[in-house]
Amino acid sequence: METIRYLEIGGEVPGTGPGAGAEGRVGVVADLDPGTQGVRRLGHPNGAVELVGVTLCVADLDMAAARQRYEAYLGRSARREGAAQVFDPDGAALTLVSDADPATLLPGERPRALPALVGCDHS
């Protein structure tokens, strides 16, 4: 048994519950017991020990709105990195990329639906 704290970010989609936004269910989880987390990481099959970044692809027309939403969620501004918008909260990164530019990050790939999580980085 592990104790966690979570926050679901309020929805903007009419008729949906907590955490339902344009990207789907959005939330933040905090591990309250680092000792339990450390034990659990020791034998992970792929060697990953933490998620350090995700890439979210959004429709080109929705890019500005998505950036503004995440600026409000995270309480910080994005920095521009090429065509992408990058947030760097506390050692992790959220990268927003437009569907007009996904080949830059993921050559030959196109998401089936938007918005879509199209990549993750771990250590």
Range 76-85 contact pairs with CB under 8 angstroms and sequence separation of 24 or more: 84/55
pTM, full prediction: 0.72
pLDDT one-digit tens code per residue, 17-63: 655 666 666 666 665 566 665 555 555 677 666 778 888 899 999 99
Domains of the chain: 1-44 (no CATH), 50-123 (3.10.180.10)
pLDDT value, residue 34: 62
Residue 120 has pLDDT above 70, yes or no: yes
Tokens describing residue 37 = 């987390």
Give CA 14 to chain center in angstroms. Answer: 22
